[in-house]
Amino acid sequence: MSLNRLDTPRRPRTAPGPALVRALLLFAGIRALCLAVLFLWSWRADRSAWVLLSERWDSLWYARVVEHGYDFTLTAPDGRVLSDMAFFPLLPWLEEAVTAVTPLGAGDAGVLISAVASVVAAWGIFVLVNGVYGARPALFTVALWGALPVSIVQSMAYSESLFVALSAWALHATLRHQWLIAGVLASLAGLTRPVGLAVAAALWVAAVIAWRRDGAAGGRGRMLLGMAVAPLGAAGYVLWVGDRVGSLFGYLDVQAAWGNGFDGGIAFARFIGERLFGPAFLAGLGLLVGVALVLWLFWRGVRQGQPPALLTYCGIVVLLALCSSGYFGSKPRLLMPAFPLLIPLALALARTTAVRAWSIVVGAAAVAAVYGAFWLHGSGPP
């Protein structure tokens, strides 16, 4: 397949209003189900579901940035010094803005931001997939993203919903050759999470292909400006951290203290192997199957001719998620932004009977609701 065919959506369409409304209502219904099960579970366990959503784990670190700025460190039992500079600034900036005009605390503001951002993300995913494959696959992609087993994070004071919202709309603008809009959104995504550079890389790939094809898609000046702006968010924050800690690569040192780094997947492979050849064989087998499924879905996206921008973005997100050496329990959450992985499944659902397709969606939503409540009531961070 030629680069020209891959770069341009094969069936460009304008998002039909009723189909978009149905997708957003379906997404809202799935989120409502997940939250209802979480609150019921918390009531039965005599715990606060709201605290689980707004005041635990990463949510607390974002709240500390709002309250104290980037000056908080915590010494772990093993002597490592954990710094809040590991957390990118856009979410706490927005939380601070919300707390300034409402009576909400930082964590409450974070939940509100994630609620709004998750809907904007679902909207962006629908418009993006609809422009390439049509409304029915777009509807199922939104439903599957909302029904991921770890989708409860979309309702927490975490940065995933905000990041996916920015990424989806940046990729949509990229496919439409709206280079400057895409660059600004990519830069904002880079201020949200370090993997935001995947959005910038997707823009660069699409721009190079467009340049080689006709040299002026969307205007050369806007193209070059969009390419220049795209990495500024992530690069600017990383350089700022480096200046604060007195080292050009200071951000990597901050992440290393948290146990995060890129080792090509060696630590994760060892983690799986220890379970496959130990008493937790079934857990290791489940992890192995999960990794194989992720890789297979990416390969299916390649075979189905997803635009290079989507493949670039998704490939980098998957690579960083699977090949990082950090806390392995967070890998499903780190894969959440890789929503193009769901497109092959959505295309399959769009081709099957309505009864079968909706049975799968309802089943996935039920699993997500139960697993999300179980997950948040565990001892480890998501």
Domain map of the chain by residue range?
Answer: 13-260+354-376
Q: Is the pLDDT of residue 92 over 60?
A: yes
pLDDT of residue 8: 46
The pTM (predicted TM-score) of the whole model is 0.93
- Tell me the C-alpha distance between 123 and 130, whole Å: 10
pLDDT of residue 212: 85
Higher pLDDT, 59 or 327: 59
Q: Is the pLDDT of residue 3 over 70?
A: no
Which of 54-63, 152-161, 279-288 is predicted with the least confidence, judged by mean pLDDT?
A: 279-288
pLDDT of residue 16: 64
> What average pLDDT does the segment 68-86 reach?
85
pLDDT of residue 327: 67
- Tell me the C-alpha distance between 227 and 232, whole Å: 10
Q: Is the pLDDT of residue 218 over 60?
A: no
pLDDT of residue 2: 39
Percent of the chain with pLDDT over 70: 94
Closest to 304 measured CA to CA, from 235, 350, 266, 270: 350
**Cα angle vertex 127, ends 358, 161, to 5°?**
80
**Position 151: which residue type?**
S
Q: Is the pLDDT of residue 62 over 50?
A: yes
Q: Is the pLDDT of residue 290 over 50?
A: yes
Longest dimension (CA), the chain: 63
Question: Sign of torsion, CA 89 92 98 100?
Answer: negative
Quickly tell me which residue has 């629908």 as its tokens: 126
> What average pLDDT does the segment 131-144 reach?
96
The string of pLDDT tens digits covering residues 226-283 is 999 999 999 999 999 999 988 888 899 898 888 788 877 788 888 888 888 888 888 8
Question: How many residues does this entry show for the chain?
Answer: 382
pLDDT band, residue 25 (cuts 50/70/90): very high
CB-based contact 381:329 (threshold 8 Å): yes
CB-based contact 159:342 (threshold 8 Å): no
> What average pLDDT does the segment 25-51 reach?
96
Q: Is the pLDDT of residue 1 over 80?
A: no
* Mean pLDDT, rounded, of the chain: 90
Q: Is the pLDDT of residue 175 over 90?
A: yes
CB-based contact 52:59 (threshold 8 Å): no
> What average pLDDT does the segment 126-143 reach?
96
pLDDT of residue 328: 66
pLDDT of residue 5: 40
> What average pLDDT does the segment 57-72 reach?
91
- Tell me the C-alpha distance between 329 and 106, whole Å: 25
pLDDT band, residue 215 (cuts 50/70/90): low
